[in-house]
A and B are shown apart, each in its own frame.
Chain A
Amino acid sequence: MSLLNVQNLKVSFHTRNGEVKAVDDISFTVETGKITAIIGESGSGKSVACYSLLGLIPTPPGKIEGGSAVFEGNDLLQLSEAELRHIRGRDIAMIFQDPMTCLNPYMTVGHQLMEPIIYHKGVAKKEARQHAIELMEEVGIRDPDSTIDSYPHEFSGGMRQRVMIAMALINEPKLLIADEPTTALDVTIQAQILKLMADLQKKHSIGIIFISHDLAVVADIADQIIVMKKGKIVEHGDRQKIFKNAQHPYTRSLLAAIPAGTKVVSGSQSEALISIRNLNTWFGQGKHKEPVKAIKDVTLDIRRGEILGLVGESGSGKSTLGRSILRLVPITSGSISFDGVDLTELQGKDLKKMRRRMQMIFQDPYASLNPRMSVYDTLAEPLLLHKIETKKTVEQGVLKLMDDVGLARAFVRKYPHEFSGGQRQRIAIGRALATRPEFIVADEPVSALDVTIQAQILDLMLDLGKEYGLTMLFVSHDLAVVKHIADRIVVLYKGEIVEQGSGRDLFENPQQEYTRQLLQSIPGRALLG
């Protein structure tokens, strides 16, 4: 008998614009000791489906219209709030996407772990602490005896997610719902967390529902995969079947969106557009303080017309390197020359002139656009500032940019909050292109986006790169993405370049241990080839 049996679940939201069917008649089962993955893009209803089982959707506007969800003989949808609360946390536990917002920053990790232990098991403080340490050990936190008294901010993102998992395990749940548990993490950390979850699931023989937008993530761990689109299940089956023999066109498009293949590079080599020599960027230098050395003695050439991929994990200094070139952060020593001009000494007008020639695309399209400026204002600003267009012709310039980045002209007066993530990133790309730059730093431009959107944006960037004759520094933590887009790859580790070469060289013959580790972290290599 299955652990959870969902039949004909329907959930809808009643909004001002009418009824939205978030989950439209879906049925699935979860088996004990198996991992069931639910895959779909934002708004496909994958999270709503799971949250509604636990009574976690706001009602109103949400409403469960019908169906049943039998868990251990009880229909979850028929239980009272008090009975549900009993099941939540005890028999069914959850892990969320962002471990930082789920932990109280003012309590030590140990306290937060001990509290539910004391509450649910009624044991003494000392015993609870012992139990908490055991749990931390089990989820792979080093030195739990001392780290138990640390605060959440002292932990890295991966460690925090481990704490969340430990917390979920306290009551030995029978079902664990993990909502995009690795989306906020680096690829290397993601691989570790995925392995941990698979191990724990085997050891405790629990059922896991793994919600994700990315098929590749679950390629190595899922037993059963459910693909959702617009509230409906379009395909489900075991892992082999989905990956090797997908039937539905949507599943195929999801598979196709997984960045694969290595860019073939032409042999010709052009001269360097940007030469970085012995660059150091340090932060927080004080009389009595040791500075944080974000960039240590980096020497690098970026050739005209190439897309250079810069890979590294959080804290490796890869974003700082991009910002240093653009003079967005002050550098400590070294030189950066752009087309023969030394950027490090430029001030005022000269700097403004150079700024026109190099632009940046940011990671988070929600933060990088001024919420009070319409698309028109956002795109017109650089055009007018650098006198590329006059007041009379600026409208044409704006519309041309919108065409280039694939935004419908009708959206010209809309504000950023009215767009989806992918559309916003198109606006941001348009703004960067407005000044007709020669060089663009793209700082993780697709890591905040769904996989299908990610593929579209990458293609757009490749096309525009050719059309505008751009040189690009493409910063990312994800080797699979970089390999897809970059001509040459540089691996950065703790502020230093550890390896560089063409995509093919790096993948077939990595020289450094760290590069190998990065390569092994790409999810779903085995199934995707």
Chain B
Amino acid sequence: MTSVENTSAENNVPKNKISDIAMAEQGTSLWKDAWTRLKKNRMALFGLAVLMLFSIIALLTPWIAPYGYEQQNLDLGASPPSAQHWLGTDIFGRDLLTLIMYGGRISLAVGFVATAVALIIGVSYGAIAGYVGGRTDAFMMRMVDILYALPFMIFIILLMVVFGRNLLLLFLAIGMVEWLTMARIMRSQVQALRQQEFVEAAVSLGLGPVAIIRKHLVPNALGPIIVYTTLTIPGVMLLEAFLSFLGLGIQPPQTSWGLLISYGAETMEEFPWLLIFPGLALALTLFSLNFLGDGLRDALDVRSSKD
């Protein structure tokens, strides 16, 4: 850096100067800097746009869906895409586009809510165990081991049997299972990070444990967490399909992408569109998630290149 910049930054900087100086004027936090970097990543922006589009469609479905999801036309039966039914109809003559839109509501909600539950519980649990260490850590992680050892299907079936079938419960049950791995990843990250001198420096500044975890440890562990999160969301969506298939999740005439795919797979030789279109919707969501996840990881890593 030259001395020209030293003096110019103090007073008024020409707007077209190096972007660092522009950032010195407006940027304030890690998150704002990350957003600046994310904006330059086209793939990530594409992913974000697709996800937002899907979410908006999901929210507005009851008003914008071309047909009601219970509306059958048994005479029509399974028909290929046509002017009336853009994506065709299923064996009961229901409009596939409508089904995919309604299915998206369930799938996206399960994916995001259950993952959010897993993220919040897992990250805080793992960070506390890793930071406190000693006996607390040993106790907390043995609890995780015990939960790991439980066959999770039995756990969910048990929950469903006791509390009855309930969408909210499904979210919770899946989240309860998925946070275990998150906690382990977070703990190992925190354990490695707390050895670093910048944590010691934070202690000697007088910061409390909560502030140290929030400001110093979690931001540095974000990379693996984001990657694992983008892997968890599709996993959760498929898990919901599996549970629904077993009759433990949601039931017809309600539907989800997972359910549509599993029905479509049964008849894929006669009516391939019943598999292709729901599959496409899920695949597009997963691609978008991965692009966004990669972009976020790079954007939050301040060491990645600035251009």
Contact = CB atoms under 8 A, between A and B. Distances in A.
Interface in A94-118: none
A435 B20 contact: no
A363 B197 CA distance: 9
Contacts, number: 104
A343 interface: no
B196 A410 contact: no
A410 B220 contact: no
Nearest to A356: B206
Nearest to B25: A413
A414 B205 contact: no
B204 A328 contact: yes
A362 B1 contact: no
A355 B201 CA distance: 11
Contact of B198 (A16, A367, A410, A435): A367
Interface residues of B, number: 37
A16 B208 CA distance: 42
A386 interface: yes
Interface stretch (A333-341, A371-379, A515-523): A371-379
Contacts of B5: 408, 410
A355 B205 contact: yes
B24 A368 contact: no
B120 interface: no
B282 to A, nearest CB: 34
Nearest to B30: A372
B206 A355 contact: yes
B6 interface: yes
Interface string A359-372: 11011100111111
B220 A360 contact: no
Contacts of A411: 1
A385 B214 CA distance: 14
Interface residues of A, number: 39
Contacts of A412: 9, 24
Contacts of A241: none
A414 B201 contact: no
Contact of A431 (B27, B201, B300): B201
A108 B8 CA distance: 59
B29 interface: yes
A371 B207 contact: no
B200 interface: yes
Contacts of B8: 410
Interface string B153-186: 0000000000000000000000000000000000
A15 to B, nearest CB: 11
Contacts of A370: 198, 202, 215-216, 219-220
Interface in B205-243: 205-208, 211, 215-216, 219-220
Interface of B: 1, 3, 5-6, 8-10, 20-21, 23-24, 27, 29-30, 33, 196-198, 200-208, 211, 215-216, 219-220, 300, 302-303, 305, 307
17 contacts: A328-B203, A328-B204, A358-B204, A359-B205, A368-B200, A370-B198, A370-B202, A370-B219, A370-B220, A372-B30, A372-B219, A374-B302, A408-B9, A409-B6, A409-B10, A410-B6, A415-B302
Given A16-B305, A408-B1, 19 more contacts: A326-B204, A360-B201, A360-B204, A363-B197, A368-B198, A370-B220, A372-B30, A373-B219, A381-B202, A382-B205, A409-B6, A409-B9, A410-B1, A413-B24, A413-B27, A415-B302, A428-B201, A431-B201, A435-B206
Interface of A: 16, 323, 326, 328, 351-352, 355-356, 358-360, 362-364, 367-374, 377, 381-382, 385-386, 408-415, 417, 428, 431, 435
